[in-house]
Structure 1
Amino acid sequence: MNQPVLTVRDLSVQVATPSGAKMVLEGLSFDLRAGETLCLAGESGSGKSMTALAIMGLLPKPMCRIAGGSVKLGETELVGLSDAGYRQIRTARVAMIFQEPMTSLNPLMTVQQQLSETLLEHGACTRAEAPGRALQLLRDVQLTEPDRRLKQYPHELSGGMRQRVMIAIALACDPEVLIADEPTTALDVTVQAEILDLIRDLQRDHGTAVLMITHDMGVVAEMADRVVILRHGCEVESAPVRDLFAAPQSAYAQELLAAVPRLGSAPPRPAKPQGPTVLKVDDLTVRFDVTGGLLNRVTARVHAVEGVSFDIRAGETLALVGESGCGKSTIGKALLGLVPWQGSVLVNGRQTRGMGPARLKPVRRDIQMVFQDPGASLDSRMTVGDQVAEPLLIHGLASGSELTDRTEHLFRRVGLSPDMMARYPHEFSGGQRQRINIARALSLSPKLIVADESVSALDVSVQAQVLGLLQEIQDEDGLAFLFISHDMAVIEQVADQVMVMRLGQVVEEGARDAVLRDPRHAYTRRLLSAVPVPDPTQLRHERIETESLGSPIWPAGQGPEKLHLNAVAPDHRVAV
């Protein structure tokens, strides 16, 4: 067998905390060979990213340090290597793709400047050759319109495009090892599939060894040759990918795999009794002006949402599905009056069109929102108890001891202890913060909750707990949900009705089983075929080809052709 290109032995990482030094990674060992993909899997805080930063020499000093062990890249020992030594091997021999491409790219430099800088720093080409090499790298990562992209800045690119640029930079000097730290977590399912296909193709062509870090077991099944499961900084299991999925040995690996939502595994959805209509939306339209020219006139418009209509009844969950930019989140914001809109929105029979903030206030008691990022949607300067109680104070529903009692009840309702009320958001995990957001949304006893990607940032086991909590609350209170997500397996778990959106319009809608089991629109089928299957024996065979979805931006006075939905079954409609 060929020699390992990366050898890690007994690696331990220590972090300084107010209460003393804490081990966040302890005694990790593995080998990585040319052309092989090793996945480090586990939940947040398991030590996955710490491993990558330790290998790359990027641990934040003086807070973190390697407390022991060895990391060898070929014959080169990396532990104790000087900064100058690391500069010579980073990108040239070992490169890293980070989780969030926007924060990893320089916003002040064009794509060409950033690629050229990497090539010139490592002497991979001359200054005259750099533009041509940069263009070829963008072609290698299958970026559309590569000549145009070279001249653009990161903010002008979509998330998938930025991640392709990051991969191009990482592969610029043909490294021996590529470390991919959650490279697809923030991406839509189709873009994720494209990026995984791309990494696999580049690995095949260059013989690169890949260390993949992820908490998505579907990605593990699709990409890995071998898997190391981490928990609390310690290895709990290491095995070839097929052995791990077929017969996990450790209790933790069994729990992790059991918590993974699997598309097609949900039981048929029983028909719910028809409750009263909580939300009725007709011809909802949201457009944003794009100005330009000497007089700053409107030159174009973003047609974010174009004539969307739907109803949601009490106790029902409507799922909005689609890729980034399709208008899902914009619909959620429009319902709460957070963006200007046209059309008709009735909340519990009350027309909200034309209402100002004062008149909207009582309506907002009936419709609340749970946002995607549980940390960013909480105020870091307020205790979580005060934040859950705040809506009750604003609406004058409780004060004094009654306010405290109701807040304590809300904490218990979402599975948190009332003695946590005096803490601040940073003292909680991501799953606990999302529970706090749900408690705050429930404080006014709403009739409808808009959940905007509310579990996409959570680990699979925490995700399962939060989804179970939402289902329990819905069953008890008859709450209606508008569930916005791009995760088809999660949608299958929660939805009664599904609406698939593309470029601001609905292309398919109907009962959950009708849309997901018998998709009729090509775009819906494309979304479903891109979902990673958490089973290495049943990998998707169809490649997800890069497809231009078009743009929602139209010149002023023009707009997209309105799609009409035709019934193909009693509760199933498809655009023609």
Structure 2
Amino acid sequence: MEPGGTCPVLSVRDLTVQVATPDGAKTVLAGLSFDLMPGETLCLAGESGSGKSMTALAIMGLLPKPMARITDGSVRLGETELTRLSDAGYRKVRTARIAMIFQEPMTSLNPLMTVQAQIIETLLEHGACSRAEAPVRALELLTAVRLTEPQRRLRQYPHELSGGMRQRVVIAIALACAPDIIIADEPTTALDVTVQAEILDLLRVLQRERGTAILMITHDMGVVAEMADRVVVLRHGRAVEAAAVGALFAAPKSDYARELLAAVPRLGDAPLRPARASEPPVLEVRDLCVRFDVKGGLLNRTIARVHAVEGVSFDIQPGETLALVGESGCGKSTIGKALLGLVPWTGSVRVLGRETRGLGPTGLKTVRRQLQMVFQDPGASLDARMTVGEQVGEPLDVHGLESGSARTDRIAWLFRRVGLSPDMMGRYPHEFSGGQRQRICIARALAVSPRIIVADESVSALDVSVQAQVLDLLQELQDEDGLSYLFISHDMAVIDQVADRVMVMRLGQVVEEGTRDAVLRSPAHPYTRRLLSAVPVPDPSRARPVRLQDADDPQSPILPVGQQPERLHLAPVGDDHRAVPA
């Protein structure tokens, strides 16, 4: 894209923001300056706490008052000085001239209003059209963002749409008044790799068609390389480097930018893995099926079933990492929950040779000692009312393993084991960073000395450098303790870094499986190739071509009662490599 114009559409000078803390005012943005030109994409890059989102909130006049405030600096939108606007003045500017796309669309959309009502509300609020014209304009906006069946989507509520569809609706609302600027705050972090690619492609196409300037906020350097014209790298509220995207990736000048780029997992960079000696598996899964009833009608009868997992089989050997990959809804996380007995299932699951089907609470308790889980969001999986030491020690209490001083010593050892200090045991979850909270969750999983850990998107919400630290920790634990991992992720670059073997899932079934090198270096199934081609490459010279696709897939794992999905059969395509014939 070629940014146009000589005068900046947005000019930020010496922006300083402070927040109130029990210890006094803390500066979270210090003297930040940059310009955004018409038709340009400027990326603010950095880790959590660097000030990226705080910059966006300051520009939009959305700083939480009275906790946070702009103490110095200027923010000019064309000829308008935004820092001097009243709340009423800001309401006229927001969406009309400068719009924002947030990370999680469900927090941006009203669950009680239809899509049409929310778009029309925005149009009428800013006088973009008459009430009579609003429904037609809403349909045009959904069509512009490439939503399939836009007429039907207008009548739906946010919970009836997929994550990618919801983000398209948020983009449509942002475009409603043809703003000069769109601020996109981590707009693809919560999305699968293929949906992320579609949203990024959509933003690029819309920018080209409408000449809108984009201020992109992200910690994903692959997204930076794909989208940015220029980059400002932030750390601790200060700009440590600003450069054209090509110059930044080719020759970063600051130590921090070099560290950030070095921590990015790159697909294909991981060394080849040697073949593993065959050993008796610690986990054996055969013909695993998970189905959920869909009820409806006047009598609330079962009218359809979700075939979430359909006939999946695999083994995991001691010290091995098996990666499950695929888009949301393919059944990855459901398999993890089924192994722990958290959802009803059929088939056979053997842990250390013991069949788990039909076990009662006591038997399941024994199995769960050997099979632990680390969830995606450590903030949601930790109890905010308990100290982290109490939570790490809770599995010891449940399984009756340690008490008294031995229990305290065991918890302290676990904290040291995951790289935390034992003097942190008395703190609460909110007092830790995201990476530290995930380490606490890993310590809790290790408390009962399991043989297998199910890691369900356990690093997808973390910054790239923190992600690298957690992955290194998991590898260290595996090397020293012989742990086996079922690693669930949609991030192919991370999978490349950690996996011994890979299983690719789609609509509840496996479409390809084999060694990591076979599946990721020589993918045999078109769906696997599609996943790999959608991965943002942290190299601006290798731009991915725009390939806009439908926002949803015509196929679905939901079938009427009595109808069964066609079972897929894998055929050999090489040594320890099988795939569904295309």
Band of TM-score, shorter chain = over 0.9
CA deviation digits over 1:387-409, x for unaligned, max 9? 11111111111101111111111
SS of equivalent residue, structure 1 residue 346:
strand
Residue number in structure 2 paired with 1:569: 574
Q: What do you get for the CA RMSD once the two structures are aligned?
A: 0.8
> Is there any run of 5+ residues in structure 2 with no aligned partner, and where?
none
Q: Choose from 511, 523, 530 the match for 1:519.
A: 523
Matched, 1:317 2:321: yes
Residue 544 of structure 1 deviates from its aligned partner by: 5.1
Matched, 1:197 2:201: yes
Residue number in structure 1 paired with 2:277: 273
> Is there any run of 5+ residues in structure 1 with no aligned partner, and where?
none
Structure 2 CA distance, aligned partners of 1:396 and 1:342? 30
Residue number in structure 1 paired with 2:335: 331
Answer with 538-547 or 458-467: which moved more.
538-547
CA contact (8 A) 1:275 1:314 kept: yes
Structure 1 CA distance, aligned partners of 2:117 and 2:361? 47
Q: How does 1:26-425 map to 2 (within 5 A)?
A: 26-425=30-429
Percent identity between the two aligned chains: 78
**Alignment-mate amino acid for residue 512 of structure 1:** R
SS of equivalent residue, structure 2 residue 269:
coil
Structure 2 CA distance, aligned partners of 1:108 and 1:495? 42
CA contact (8 A) 2:186 2:217 kept: yes
Answer with 64-73 or 544-553: which moved more.
544-553
CA deviation digits over 1:445-473, x for unaligned, max 9? 11100000000000000000000000000
Structure 1 CA distance, aligned partners of 2:90 and 2:155? 30
TM-score (norm 2): 0.98
- Go from structure 1 to structure 2 and tell me whether the alpha carbon gap of 1:544 and 1:533 turns closer, same or farther (over 3 Å shift): farther
CA contact (8 A) 2:375 2:381 kept: yes
**Alignment-mate amino acid for residue 576 of structure 2:** D
Residue number in structure 2 paired with 1:551: 556
Structure 2 CA distance, aligned partners of 1:64 and 1:565? 57
Structure 2 CA distance, aligned partners of 1:362 and 1:22? 49
Residue 575 of structure 1 deviates from its aligned partner by: 1.1
TM-score (norm 1): 0.99
Residue 285 of structure 1 deviates from its aligned partner by: 0.1
Residue 542 of structure 1 deviates from its aligned partner by: 5.9
**Alignment-mate amino acid for residue 278 of structure 2:** Q
Residue 548 of structure 1 deviates from its aligned partner by: 1.5
Residue 359 of structure 1 deviates from its aligned partner by: 1.6
Q: Choose from 476, 482, 493 the match for 2:497.
A: 493
CA deviation digits over 1:263-306, x for unaligned, max 9? 01111012233333100000000000111122221110000000
Residue 185 of structure 1 deviates from its aligned partner by: 0.2
CA deviation digits over 1:241-260, x for unaligned, max 9? 00000000000000000000
**Alignment-mate amino acid for residue 166 of structure 2:** R
Residue 541 of structure 1 deviates from its aligned partner by: 2.7
SS of equivalent residue, structure 1 residue 492:
helix
SS of equivalent residue, structure 1 residue 534:
coil
Structure 2 CA distance, aligned partners of 1:291 and 1:59? 44
Structure 2 CA distance, aligned partners of 1:119 and 1:542? 29
Structure 1 CA distance, aligned partners of 2:428 and 2:144? 46
CA contact (8 A) 2:201 2:546 kept: no
Structure 2 CA distance, aligned partners of 1:131 and 1:469? 53
SS of equivalent residue, structure 2 residue 380:
coil
**Alignment-mate amino acid for residue 244 of structure 1:** L
**Alignment-mate amino acid for residue 416 of structure 2:** R
Structure 2 CA distance, aligned partners of 1:131 and 1:195? 24
Residue 549 of structure 1 deviates from its aligned partner by: 5.2
